[in-house]
Structure 1
């Protein structure tokens, strides 16, 4: 998959959001990586918040992007 195309960017962003939401559930990693709300580590925190609060929208977009990558492209 070409990472510089729009659909590659969408897939990478979805994987980043899903990974951060998963890491928020691990106590040691959550306290270390997701404790900062500003700066570089704030990006991880914000992605985790998006993944937790909008889990149904993120899941639907993951299914839609998987369908697109597997069958349409």
Structure 2
């Protein structure tokens, strides 16, 4: 449980959140329901999906790097 409050745990959560929102942007029913708002609390999901789709190469490389770190270095 201590891993949730560490910096690398926060990075893993952020990467997974961005990847999940980018994936959900491709699902038509979820896109209209979850990603319709661009401001407020629900806007965080929209902004994360935009980051995931526009910076897909950077996010993918970050995920691979973080997976290597968690599996072998931690």
Normalised by the length of structure 1, the TM-score is 0.98
**Could you list the runs of 5+ residues in structure 1 that have no partner in the other structure?**
none
Name segments (4+ residues, structure 1) moved above 4 Å: none
Three-state SS of the structure 1 residue aligned to 2:60 is: helix
Instruction: Could you tell me which runs of 5 or more consecutive residues in structure 2 were left unpaired when the two chains were aligned.
Output: none
Note the 1:18-57 alignment, pairs <5 A: 18-57=19-58
User: Structure 2-normalised TM-score?
Assistant: 0.97
1:66 aligns with 2:33: no
Matched positions, count: 73
Can you list the C-alpha shifts for 1:19-64, whole angstroms capped at 9, x where unaligned?
Answer: 0000000000000000100001000000000000000000000000
